Structure 1
């Protein structure tokens, strides 16, 4: 038996969220082409007619799920309160958050992979996501500027490239955990391996941004 959500009193917001939660599971498991609206209806406890009423179809539902996935990580990053921390502390906290988020939300990785297979067509015109991404880059840029001013970070770091690197050091490792286990010969998800990777990620990025000695 698959995961099934408990009954909740029906109202538009609850119903929409039930559908999104069930769809996230189904799309993460089967991708857009393999996902079944019947399964989403069964898991959510919402009939197919209501799913089409709220989202208009499987493609639009997938777009909503991907949007929600990005909005979740971006909103949690903004809630970290990094602007009030010392630059190095803020950067370490962001690195730690990113690693833990990717580790604890494997559906995010599979959904991003799926959207990349579709060449990002479901989010291409999404202004809200671009606005959130711009805010995220601005937050990282602010940390960098404060770090340069305090002497902790070097000048000339591209905030966009740094954002990509912060995501990449955890995303790639977790995304390739199965092929990596075979090719490198160790269990990527072993407790000690995860701890070593977390430490490596932090050391790598912190050395990348650190001020160079005169």
Structure 2
């Protein structure tokens, strides 16, 4: 009796790492939306960047609008996590503010896609950001943290008391945001390589000094 032919061994399928796939899609979407804005971004391009099947993209994130919202939320969550990790309440007021300014500046510097993404969303008049239900709750702890630093500083007699924490944070963010988003044009205008390590360090120190000098200046002084 002839021996039966052996069945070819089936190659076992590797289990899908959903967390890794979602992270890859999110990172790819960051780049695509930052480079092209919402309208110019293409789902096919995002899937190609991520090395993922487009079907998985829709499975994990829904449509293009939902993916864009996920990118925005993740971007803000990332910077807020970094701020919380600073443990600013462990430092005296001047040191705490120094650390916050440096962190904010370095975050923009290390993530140039972030200013571009925010610029794209501002072109959209923040229409997607307005639909994120958790965005206010995400930012309120930061405002409270800055207010606490100002209060501790004023009680110690080193900071002025009449400082709006929201206005102060806008100024801190602007000192880094503008520099990073306009490095190319400013370098040409002033004939300096603002991307050089020396210039970046000088700018960071300048940003810290500006904030601390403002906080230490007495009203009307």
Question: TM-score, normalising length from structure 1?
Answer: 0.91
Q: Deviations over 1:160-206 (max 9, x none)?
A: 10010000011111111112122222222122211211111011000
DSSP 3-state at the match of 1:127:
coil
Query: Cα offset for 1:51?
Result: 1.0
Matched, 1:140 2:140: no
Which residue of structure 1 lines up, in the alignment, with residue 193 of structure 2? 187
Is the aligned partner of 1:175 residue 2:181?
A: yes
**Which is greater in Rg?**
2
Structure 1: distance between partners of 2:15 and 2:117 = 29
**C-alpha distance in structure 2 between counterparts of 1:9 and 1:44, whole Å:** 18
2:74 matched to 1:68?
A: yes
Residues 1-214 of structure 1: pairs in structure 2 closer than 5 A: 10-212=16-218
Moved more, 116-125 or 25-34: 25-34
CA displacement, residues 21-78 of structure 1 (integer Å, 9 cap, x when unaligned): 1111222222222222112112222211121122222122111111110110011101
The CA deviation at 1:101 is 0.6
Q: Tell me how far apart the structure 2 counterparts of residues 127 and 142 of structure 1 sit (CA, whole Å).
A: 25
CA distance in structure 2 between the partners assigned to 1:9 and 1:18 by the alignment? 16
* Paired positions, count: 207
From the superposition, tell whether residues 110 and 96 of structure 1 become closer, same or farther in structure 2 (CA, over 3 Å): same
Helix, strand or coil: the match of 2:134? Answer: helix
Residue-by-residue CA offset, 1:83-117 (whole Å, 9 max, x unaligned): 12111110001011111111101011111111111
Q: Structure 2 CA distance, aligned partners of 1:124 and 1:88?
A: 34
Task: Check whether the contact 1:151–1:211 (CA below 8 A) recurs between aligned residues.
Answer: no
Question: Secondary structure of the equivalent of 1:46?
Answer: coil
Q: Is the 8 A contact 1:109 1:171 kept in 2?
A: yes
Normalised by the size of structure 2, how large is the TM-score?
0.88
Structure 1 spans left out of the alignment, 5+ residues: 1-7
